Structure 1
Amino acid sequence: MSGQDTPLDGESSGDDASGGLLATITPDPIRRNFALKFGIVLVVMALSVGVVGIAATEQVRTYTETQVTDEYRGVAAQEGDIIEQWFERNRLSVQFVSSSDGWTTDDTEDLRAELRNREAGLSADVSSVHLVERQITGTNVVASTSLSADTNVSTVGRGWTADTSFDRAGEVTHSGVYETQTGPVVGFMSPVDASQNRYIVIEYSVDSITESLQGSERAEGGFTQVVNGSNVVMFDESAEGGVGDEMLQQYASGGEATQPISQANDLRGGDQAAGVIATMPAGDVVAEQYTVGFSPIEGTDWVVLVHAPYSAVFGFVQNVQLYGIVGTIVMVLLIGGVGAVLGYNTATAIDRLTRKTEQMREGDLDVDISSSRIDNIGRLYDGFADMRDALKQQINEAQRAQKEAEVSRAEAMEVNKYLQTKAEEFSEVMEATAAGNLTRRMETDGENQAMDRIASEFNGMIDELEKTIGQLDSFADEVADSGDVVLTSAESVRDASEQVAESVQKISDDAYDQKERLQTLSEDLDELVEQLQRFQDENPEVEMADSLAAFQTTATTLQEAADTSENMMAESETVAGAAEEQAAELNEVSSRAERLKRYAQPLGDILGRFQTEAEHEFVFSGGPSQGLAENDDN
């Protein structure tokens, strides 16, 4: 499968959009393959679920094991309490019996009767009551409910011996378990207050206390034993009830099996009443791996040991662990199976869509993009189908637009060709005009309104320019002629200052008129130059730089001529006013007239370059030459 992600231009891939640092450190082969990425995520999820499940199972197992251990420790503590209460009750009983004042008499029958009365008032587990006296010849029975008087203690095999001694009145001691005709018993002894040589012995049967032990009820295969400091079993709970076969037997051959006894002895006098060893190896105590709870019996060197097979005590813990592991495995397999099916279906759908998009990329827009899925993948198929349809529509519209553009381009080319032709014609006319031929005009044909407007405005401008140039040309000639007349007639003017003054005044008036015309012509030329400059900017292919420069020079010259005419007018007025007073000032008039001639001659040369129609030429209607001629006639 391809599984390649091909994001569109300007868009980031899914990894880049949401991955950040993860997308940076992930190898590209993994990022390109959806199935591989999904498989890795699936494996990570399965491993995570597995680790979490195992950790949770272990935590539950540990918690449950702790609960069971605490519960079993409580069982050992309860069994120890039962034994301690039994010991304490028996101690109080024998202490109470020994405190009576009636034990000092030597009447055996009375003593036996008193012992029987006391026995009847004690608990049902009392086997026998004895009054014993330590004598020089040994320890003998003074009176008893089951033994003959004067019986030597050493001959009856009791657990209490002749060397039993007491440090104070009311002290109670006890023996180990020993066998009597009525069964196993424990003897409790306390001295008689009136005499230190006599003490009361009460033998208690161990059958009832052994039956009260509940080790076998706590767990299947369990049992409780009480072991003394010599590791001899004092109490042995039988699963069938009564006393077990291990009573008065060695608890264990030693080694690790006696470890609970050592740990129980370490608890004596401490805050903790009991303890548990969860795992003990199979041996002579229990034939399989077992659990033992222990509790010391305070006031004795005895230890309560509660035994049970490990499977019976921690079977629930093992089941919890097993169920947790099985549940975790099932969950991992479920995630893996469902994820694999989901991933396969998703990857297959994405690969199929990728192949179809590749066909679209190659130009096949008729590819079938459809899916029966209604989820995100199905909507993605629908989105690609819509995109394909929209793309086809855009292509069709683009083709139509292309055709329209081709038609518009052909039309534009025709218009461009026409404009180019007209531009060449206009350029030829403007070049001729720039060369000085003001008789050329641009033709209008009605094909293009803008070009016709340019031609009309240009033709109008040239008409005005032609008129102005013709007038300037005639004016320049007249000015030159007037200068000659002024120079040649200075002497006559000196003699006839009044006529000169009048002629100068008339020249001044004409100069004023000509100045106005020159300024108007200069402004028209400036406007013409600006229009030609705009035309040049809009039509860079038309070369008009030289013509524009020539027009600019002409406009400058006209402005200077206008300025000179103004100066001449002022000077003429001055001369006219002073001619009547000082004839000597005519020399200044002559020099100024010569300057006017110098300015008029270049202007005439420049204006002579322009070719104009004769009817547009300006006829000077008055001036110094005409005035002088009239004077000559007179």
Structure 2
Amino acid sequence: MRPLREIVIPAMIRKRWAVKSGIAIFVILLFIGSVGAVTYVETNEELSQDAQIRLETAAETQSVSLSEWVQQMRTAAQTLAYSAPVQSGDSPQISAYLSQQLEDGKLPSDVVVVHYLDTQTGIYRASSESEAVGANAAVRGIPWMQRSLDLGENGVRVSEPYEDPNTQTAAAAVIAAVPNQENRVLVMVIDLESYAAGLPRPLQDSFTKVVDSDGTTVLSHRTDEILTQNMGASDTESVDSMAVKNGLDGQSGYMEMEMSGTEMAMGYAPVAGTDWVVMIHSPTSTLFALQQQISQNLLILLGGALLGFAVLGVTIGRNTISELNRLTSKAQALEDGDLDVAFESARVDEIGQLYGAFGGMRDALRERIREAEREKQRSAELVDHLEAKADAYSSGMERAADGELTVRVDPESENAAMTQIGEAFNAMVGNIEETVVEIRSFADRVAVASEEVTAGTAESQSASEQMNASIQDIAADAESQSANLQEVAAEMQDLSGTIEEVASSVDEMATKSQQTATLGEEGRESATAALEEMDAIESQAEQTITEVESLAGEMDEIGEIVEVITDIAEQTNMLALNASIEATQANNGGEGFAVIADEIKELAQEVADSTDEIEGLITDIQASTDEVVGSIREMGERVEDGAATTEDASAALRAIADNVEASNQSIQEISDATDAQASSTEEVASMVDQVSTKAERVNEESDTVSAAAQEQTASLTQVAQSAETLADQADELQAQLAAFTVSETESPTPEPQSGGLTRSETAADGGSLD
């Protein structure tokens, strides 16, 4: 596949350095030109935008300055309106004050006259100009007097521009209301032409113009344009300028236009606090002078760079191409075989180094050709030697191929590879000779072994047949024994079943006997517990009797106490009776004592009644206690009888439990003996099963051994046949090995003699190979 550069670049360009250099220089010039053009366009755009922004910024700065100036005028007018002389309302004093303020320079320099005006009549009541006092402003035709004086919330306003009849100049009035005085205002007249002359010029040849919402020019460097219409008819007061419209809408910006045949650029901005728009005009030639200068310099720089690079490329390329053409012609002569061509140059740069490199290559090539001729001669001699050596090796290989394994070649040679081949051939033939000797010996051993195997195989075959007959007899006996053992195993299985049934009955009897013994033991324990409970009841009954008897004694003591209380109640009753007698004798003086005596008597009577009730209760309790004691004594006697009866029952249960225990032990011994007999019977049956199984296994093994013996007999027959075949093959191998000639010594590789080929002294033909 051709390289990509050969497909893309034509051969005419690839073969000529001058064309490639020219194309490279053209591409570089094109690149520099493109970059320069882009840089030129971008620089022009940036400078143009910078100039526009500069002009717009100047308009905005001028608008801020005008707004501050207007605010200053309003402040000055309000300050005068709030001053004490003006507040006094005294016209002469106000006139003197205003004149003094103007003469002392305390008012802005653009203020030319100040009036104190009666808005109702239009008459100047006071003024800094004495001739104006008493004059009628409306009669003088002042425009702002012919309209409504709306001073707004701040009480101050700036009028539209007009021509002042007193100063005969373009002016504007700052009108401020006088506080606390109805229909009185202070009018401060400003000379617009004077202020316009002092407006700054941000650019050379630029001028500023300020226009109000009516399209009237308020301020301008061109003073003759003040009070004229900026655009449109003067009688319509229309605003046709897009810049003024945008400014009145609060926007600032940049525009270009033609004025009197001159291309002009204009930046505009609104003046805050007024209906004015400031516009700064500048010729585009002046505004963009820096842009044009930089663009021109950039074009000159770019053109110079392109021209210089082109001249440099042509000059250097021309010299280089001529030198390369001369060097190419010399290289072609060298290619044609002219080794005497001269490569000399006075240059020391890359071209000169290239000449030196070609000269060195010419000298190296001449030396290489001489070495190649010498090497060619040596190669021819070596080829002759190799051909002679190859013939000697070929002769030795043919004799070895014919079976003469004692042949050897002389490995000495001028070529290392041929030496290695000779040594390898000698080693190979020696190894083959040793192998043939070993194979002969092995064939002899195989023949002898084959005869021995044949004889041994016959004997083994006879013994195998006898063993097979014996094994068949053993198998028949084992089969008969297995049948007998199976009958014995069946009988033992029946006996084992009978013994297991007996053992099961004995186990059931032992279980019931054990349950009976357990019940007898439980009965004996219950009887013992009943006796213990009877003893506890008897003890409790005796204790209860003791406590009841003790209670009877205590009841007797309570009876004695009741008798004492009864005696005390009788005595108290007697005391009460005596007290009543004493009270009777005391007549009225003892009335209170009689009352107490009555109460004591009543109390004594109640105590006596209570003691009688207690005595009755004690009598009833004593009777009940006697009955309880009798009942408890009777219960104690019955408990003693029950205890005796329970003792007899316990003794009987104990005797029954002992007898049942003895019976249970005997039954358990019978059960154990029966279980042992059943276990022994099962073991015997298991042994019989094992013997029967082993007999069957012996029978199966006998069949297997018999089959193996038969297979062994067949195998021995096959081995005998294989041994005979092996003997035949050994004889055949010995016959084939007899075709090889080998030495009879232990070392089949003797030292080689002089010459191309050697042979051992025991060679078959006895000849020499020299």
TM-score range, shorter chain: 0.5 to 0.7
The alpha-carbon deviation at position 233 of structure 1 amounts to: 1.4
Residue 23 of structure 2 corresponds to 40
The alpha-carbon deviation at position 90 of structure 1 amounts to: 0.5
The alpha-carbon deviation at position 349 of structure 1 amounts to: 2.3
The alpha-carbon deviation at position 209 of structure 1 amounts to: 2.1
The alpha-carbon deviation at position 208 of structure 1 amounts to: 3.7
Between 247-256 and 368-377, the greater mean CA deviation after superposition: 247-256
User: Map of 1:549-564 to 2, 5 A cutoff?
Assistant: none
> Distance in 2 between the 1:149 and 1:338 partners?
89
Q: Give the direction of change, closer, same or farther, for the CA distance of 1:256–1:231 in structure 2 (3 Å limit).
A: closer
Residue 494 of structure 1 corresponds to none
- The answer to whether the Cα contact below 8 Å between 1:293 and 1:305 also exists between their aligned partners in 2 is yes
3-state SS of 1:385 partner? helix
Residue 192 of structure 2 corresponds to 206
Residue 453 of structure 2 corresponds to none
Q: Give the direction of change, closer, same or farther, for the CA distance of 1:266–1:395 in structure 2 (3 Å limit).
A: farther
Residue 237 of structure 1 corresponds to 221
Q: Give the direction of change, closer, same or farther, for the CA distance of 1:380–1:316 in structure 2 (3 Å limit).
A: same
Q: Give the direction of change, closer, same or farther, for the CA distance of 1:403–1:207 in structure 2 (3 Å limit).
A: same
Q: Deviations over 1:415-438 (max 9, x none)?
A: 7898899999x99xx99xx999xx
> Distance in 2 between the 1:132 and 1:308 partners?
42
3-state SS of 1:226 partner? strand
Residue 123 of structure 2 corresponds to 140
- The answer to whether the Cα contact below 8 Å between 2:239 and 2:245 also exists between their aligned partners in 1 is no
The alpha-carbon deviation at position 104 of structure 1 amounts to: 6.5
* 1:336 corresponds to which of 292, 307, 310: 310
> Distance in 2 between the 1:435 and 1:305 partners?
129
Residue 252 of structure 1 corresponds to 231
The alpha-carbon deviation at position 377 of structure 1 amounts to: 2.2
3-state SS of 1:294 partner? strand
User: Map of 1:433-512 to 2, 5 A cutoff?
Assistant: none
Give ranges in structure 2 of 5+ residues lacking alignment: 405-417, 423-737
Given residue 282 of structure 1, which amino acid in structure 2 is its aligned partner?
E
Residue 463 of structure 1 corresponds to none
> Distance in 2 between the 1:201 and 1:421 partners?
145
User: Map of 1:224-623 to 2, 5 A cutoff?
Assistant: 224-238=208-222, 244-253=223-232, 258-267=241-250, 274-277=252-255, 280-284=256-260, 287-402=261-376, 408=381, 523-524=742-743
Q: Give the direction of change, closer, same or farther, for the CA distance of 1:253–1:378 in structure 2 (3 Å limit).
A: farther
What is the alpha-carbon root mean square deviation over aligned residues?
4.3
Q: Give the direction of change, closer, same or farther, for the CA distance of 1:395–1:142 in structure 2 (3 Å limit).
A: same
3-state SS of 2:339 partner? coil
Q: Give the direction of change, closer, same or farther, for the CA distance of 1:22–1:83 in structure 2 (3 Å limit).
A: farther
Q: Give the direction of change, closer, same or farther, for the CA distance of 1:118–1:245 in structure 2 (3 Å limit).
A: same
The alpha-carbon deviation at position 73 of structure 1 amounts to: 2.7
Q: Deviations over 1:387-423 (max 9, x none)?
A: 01211222233334445656x47xx75x789889999
> Distance in 1 between the 2:387 and 2:101 partners?
150
The alpha-carbon deviation at position 106 of structure 1 amounts to: 6.5
> Distance in 2 between the 1:257 and 1:220 partners?
28
Residue 570 of structure 1 corresponds to none
Given residue 280 of structure 2, which amino acid in structure 1 is its aligned partner?
V
Residue 111 of structure 2 corresponds to 126
> Distance in 1 between the 2:239 and 2:301 partners?
37
* 1:156 corresponds to which of 140, 145, 148: 140
The alpha-carbon deviation at position 246 of structure 1 amounts to: 1.7
The alpha-carbon deviation at position 154 of structure 1 amounts to: 2.5
Residue 54 of structure 2 corresponds to 71
Residue 69 of structure 2 corresponds to 86
- The answer to whether the Cα contact below 8 Å between 2:170 and 2:227 also exists between their aligned partners in 1 is no
Given residue 383 of structure 1, which amino acid in structure 2 is its aligned partner?
A
The alpha-carbon deviation at position 111 of structure 1 amounts to: 3.6
Q: Looking at both structures, which has the greater relative contact order when contacts are Cα pairs under 8 Å and sequence separation is at least 6? A: 2
Given residue 204 of structure 1, which amino acid in structure 2 is its aligned partner?
I
Residue 92 of structure 2 corresponds to 109
The alpha-carbon deviation at position 74 of structure 1 amounts to: 2.8
Percent identity reads 23
The alpha-carbon deviation at position 302 of structure 1 amounts to: 0.7
- The answer to whether the Cα contact below 8 Å between 1:127 and 1:205 also exists between their aligned partners in 2 is yes
> Distance in 1 between the 2:314 and 2:350 partners?
18
Between 251-260 and 369-378, the greater mean CA deviation after superposition: 251-260
- The answer to whether the Cα contact below 8 Å between 1:220 and 1:312 also exists between their aligned partners in 2 is yes
Q: Give the direction of change, closer, same or farther, for the CA distance of 1:298–1:348 in structure 2 (3 Å limit).
A: same
Give ranges in structure 1 of 5+ residues lacking alignment: 1-12, 239-243, 269-273, 437-449, 455-518, 555-609, 613-634
3-state SS of 1:281 partner? strand
- The answer to whether the Cα contact below 8 Å between 1:169 and 1:192 also exists between their aligned partners in 2 is no
- The answer to whether the Cα contact below 8 Å between 1:100 and 1:192 also exists between their aligned partners in 2 is no
> Distance in 1 between the 2:210 and 2:84 partners?
36
Q: Deviations over 1:353-396 (max 9, x none)?
A: 22221221122222222233222222112111110121122223
Q: Give the direction of change, closer, same or farther, for the CA distance of 1:72–1:190 in structure 2 (3 Å limit).
A: same
Q: Give the direction of change, closer, same or farther, for the CA distance of 1:171–1:28 in structure 2 (3 Å limit).
A: farther
3-state SS of 1:291 partner? strand
Given residue 108 of structure 2, which amino acid in structure 1 is its aligned partner?
S
Structure with greater Cα Rg: 2
* 2:43 corresponds to which of 52, 60, 65: 60
Residue 588 of structure 1 corresponds to none
> Distance in 2 between the 1:220 and 1:281 partners?
18
Q: Give the direction of change, closer, same or farther, for the CA distance of 1:527–1:161 in structure 2 (3 Å limit).
A: same
TM-score (norm 1): 0.57
- The answer to whether the Cα contact below 8 Å between 1:95 and 1:172 also exists between their aligned partners in 2 is yes
Between 370-379 and 321-330, the greater mean CA deviation after superposition: 370-379
The alpha-carbon deviation at position 191 of structure 1 amounts to: 1.2
Structure 1 consecutive aligned stretches of length 4 or more whose deviation exceeds 6 Å: 21-24, 254-257, 415-424, 525-532
The alpha-carbon deviation at position 528 of structure 1 amounts to: 11
> Distance in 1 between the 2:282 and 2:73 partners?
29
Given residue 193 of structure 1, which amino acid in structure 2 is its aligned partner?
P
The alpha-carbon deviation at position 224 of structure 1 amounts to: 0.9
Q: Give the direction of change, closer, same or farther, for the CA distance of 1:22–1:234 in structure 2 (3 Å limit).
A: farther
> Distance in 2 between the 1:522 and 1:165 partners?
156
The alpha-carbon deviation at position 160 of structure 1 amounts to: 2.2
> Distance in 1 between the 2:390 and 2:133 partners?
162
The alpha-carbon deviation at position 96 of structure 1 amounts to: 1.2
3-state SS of 1:337 partner? helix
Q: Deviations over 1:228-259 (max 9, x none)?
A: 11222111114xxxxx2222222234999823
Residue 223 of structure 1 corresponds to 207
The alpha-carbon deviation at position 25 of structure 1 amounts to: 4.2
- The answer to whether the Cα contact below 8 Å between 2:151 and 2:175 also exists between their aligned partners in 1 is no
- The answer to whether the Cα contact below 8 Å between 1:275 and 1:294 also exists between their aligned partners in 2 is yes
- The answer to whether the Cα contact below 8 Å between 1:139 and 1:162 also exists between their aligned partners in 2 is no
